[in-house]
Homo-oligomer: A and B are copies of this chain.
Amino acid sequence: MVSPAEIREKFRAGLRVPTSGYCPGWTQANLLCLPKEDAYDFLLFAQRNPKSCPVLDVTEPGETSASIFAGDLRTDLPAYRVYRDGELVDERVEVADLWRDDLVSFLIGCSFTFEAALLDAGVPVRHIDAGSNVPMYRTNRECRPAGSLSGPLVVSMRPIPADLVATAVRVTSRYPAVHGAPVHIGSPGLLGIDDLGNPDFGDAVEVRPGEIPVFWACGVTPQAAVMRSRPSFAIGHAPGHMAITDVRDSTFQVP
């Protein structure tokens, strides 16, 4: 089994893949780096939207590693997105040359973390079987704003056989720190999603007869807030290309 440190070394060397299915048993995290002047608004936004923004760790300004991530936050994710005034201006495999001493990094729980538990419970995960990225969608649900930050809830979707939906709810609800129970089951139209085949982030997956689309809150929500709210500068992970931390997923399991 490849360790978090070993896979981070491959990412640092340039491997660029979605991380779903990598290092099962280890917690994966979304990344958002903001100037210190925007950090309070974001931490409050996260407190007010805990389903989509469960904060696992926050660095001091300028720090390049975190208490749950011994690697280098600037190089050890497979891919990054760079925003200026809310515009996506670049996607790249490292951001060391863009780093600033005033950047506070937030690590936010990712639903890839509970996929090992889903597989253990006999619930198939389509995008892992397909070797693709999870499909993610902007919804018509507004997050609760905080200071200068507002934006829509973003969700990830997994098609689940109807007789396993309850199992999927039960298993994932034990992991509230990595998005927990689904926010919506079935009826994508009610979330304002017109076409499951055309996700806003990641790759489309097949929804087979007898399968129900199940939606979990997604840690791309902070980046949707950046796009809406336009802080001067931000760095995020590329959707699906997560920080693989040094913390076991069992740490975040509740009874």
Give me the interface of A with B, judged by CB distance under 8 Å: 39-40, 43-44, 47-48, 55, 58, 170, 173-174, 176, 254-255
Contact = CB atoms under 8 A, between A and B. Distances in A.
Nearest to A56: B47
19 contacts: A39-B40, A40-B40, A40-B43, A43-B43, A43-B44, A43-B47, A44-B58, A47-B55, A47-B58, A48-B58, A170-B255, A173-B254, A173-B255, A174-B254, A174-B255, A176-B176, A176-B254, A254-B255, A255-B255
A214 to B, nearest CB: 17
Most buried by B among A39, A40, A170, A173: A40
A110 to B, nearest CB: 17
Contacts of A40: 39-40, 43
Q: Interface of chain A, helix or strand or loop or mixed?
A: helix
A40 B173 CA distance: 29
A58 B44 CA distance: 8
Contacts of A255: 170, 173-174, 254-255
A173 B176 CA distance: 13
A222 to B, nearest CB: 15
Nearest to A254: B254
Nearest to A169: B255
A172 to B, nearest CB: 10
A47 B47 CA distance: 9
Nearest to A173: B255
A142 to B, nearest CB: 15
Contacts of A58: 44, 47-48
A56 to B, nearest CB: 9
Contacts of A43: 40, 43-44, 47
A158 to B, nearest CB: 19
A167 to B, nearest CB: 13
A114 to B, nearest CB: 13
A44 B170 CA distance: 31
